[in-house]
Structure 1
Amino acid sequence: MNAPGAGSGGAGALPPMPPVRGKLTPHAPLDKLVWFKSGGPADWLFEPADLDDLTTFLAHLPEDTPVMAIGLGSNLIIRDGGVPGVVVRLGKAFSTVEVRRDHVLECGGGAPGILVASTARDAGIAGLEFLRGIPGTVGGFVRMNGGAYGREVADILIDCDVVLPDGNCVNIPKADLEYSYRHSRLPEGAIVVAARFQGTPGDPAVIGAEMDRIAAEREASQPLRSKTGGSTFKNPAGKKAWQLVDEAGCRGLAIGGAQVSAKHANFLINTGEATSADIEGLGEEVRRRVAEKTGVSLEWEIKRVGRP
């Protein structure tokens, strides 16, 4: 489908574009694509057919067009006013996981963590089991240095292939990302389309047992069957965010349809019809109460995007 011309009216109109082989949707609802099940539409949602489709499309966008990638939508609040510019969602063509030499896995940016971990297990590659506990895609956890159960992406990443907002595809080695806790120097608007992870030799049975342990621990401690967004706040140095939220008396606190989970105090949940404003507002109220009670200023781990 072609993007409409600038004269087609309305905010977010794109100039005449070459045909795309994927799917380009105007005013695309995003609430069904995120775990919280709330939020407004994208001006444009682009689901590219493959890497060439993506780079060609971005190369023809005006320079000032915002571009944002979305994965499984697990660590994300889409604000109620929607997202300006273009949201890119990587599909099947970007979800492959392949075993290479020397216990290396080459993964598409759209591959979910559980697929990466399972492929590593089946190939007898250890060290990637923790990805079973990250509810996101390779692109998301490479960008934010995702981690769980004592390990993080910085421990296993070799390098990644990234498409910049101008359509250029570049390779970035791990060192250039300057990883820190839940943070990287990946350029704004850059889309991770592939990454290579280094593992070590391992016994598939032992690897599988560790993955099962992680899955069981997550099920027991986190509200996985609720509309949630994963861990809400980063752990401050030497402290646990959930303990600070508890100390401030916020477990079970609610605003509108949003509530602090009674099962895990560092999770917010949509109890039914919460708006994104409810969810974000609840998070800010928790931050205020924690700062007042403990003197600690919690930092958001969940990414919040779009127009209020």
Structure 2
Amino acid sequence: MQPAISISGVSKTYASGFSALKDINLDIRHGEIFALLGPNGAGKTTLISIVCGIVNRSSGTVMVDGHDIGRDYRAARALIGLVPQELTVESFETVWAALSYSRGLFGKAPNPALIEQILKDLSLWDKRDAKIITLSGGMKRRVMIGKALAHEPKILFLDEPTAGVDVELRQDMWAMVRSLRESGVTIILTTHYIEEAEEMADRVGVINRGEIVLVEDKDELMRKLGRKQLRMELRKKLDTVPPSLAGYGLELSPDGDTLTYTYDHQSDRPGVASLLRDLEAADIAFRDLDTENSSLEEIFVNLVRKAS
């Protein structure tokens, strides 16, 4: 099956000489949630804008479900819903009119039942006749999402969709995103709330200084690059770590009560099973064990630091 989006050799250089994107190659699979992460100015919004036809690429090709965005722009754009980072809504329109107008822009016949369902999913139904100027920032952002969904796109771009949205409404939005994915919609999101990407994404791409640093299944990324810690609360205090355990790089707490073992998939240190055997041989017993895995945020920060 061809990808939902195929980006090949895409670069963007502005007249000033600044290279915002450098030879981007990326395929987005049908029906996945793909999180594109990167620091401010990394090129995330530029890449999204090129795929959506808002910014012209300097080189390369972009295919949307087999449609070239240059040669077959209308067909490609009709498949895409975009929730931009900036709020761009007509202040004096009503919520209902804004969604209905967006649907009409794509040549879709009126569908009041669909608009009603979208507004209910976004907790906006009671605001359907309100002018957008009267809404809070979080509600305006939900209107933006509704406008993007009004023409029933097969691919949805969410560029910082929950910025300024409170925690409860953020959870409602992600429940809707999950249901969209279950219905077959492909979702590409950028977010500064990395815990959202950790919870939602199937795959993660990291972009930095206009270049793709890494693309990986989220679970595999966390397995390969995630750091793990094993903390052992000891039955008897230690003054120092015995020489027989020196190869593990164990850290002894100042009070001598706890040993901490840090390891990861790429480490050449022995495994936990080997450590437990050597602890027993050294006559070191523990009363409790606690493990901790690094978060996607820690992995992201380390990747960007290495790439900078």
Task: Tell me whether the two structures share a fold, i.e. TM-score over 0.5.
Answer: no
Shorter chain as normaliser: what TM range? under 0.3
> Normalising to structure 2: TM-score of the pair?
0.26
Q: Which has the higher contact order (CA 8 A, sep 6+)?
A: 2
Higher helix proportion (structure 1 or 2): 2
Higher gyration radius (CA): 2
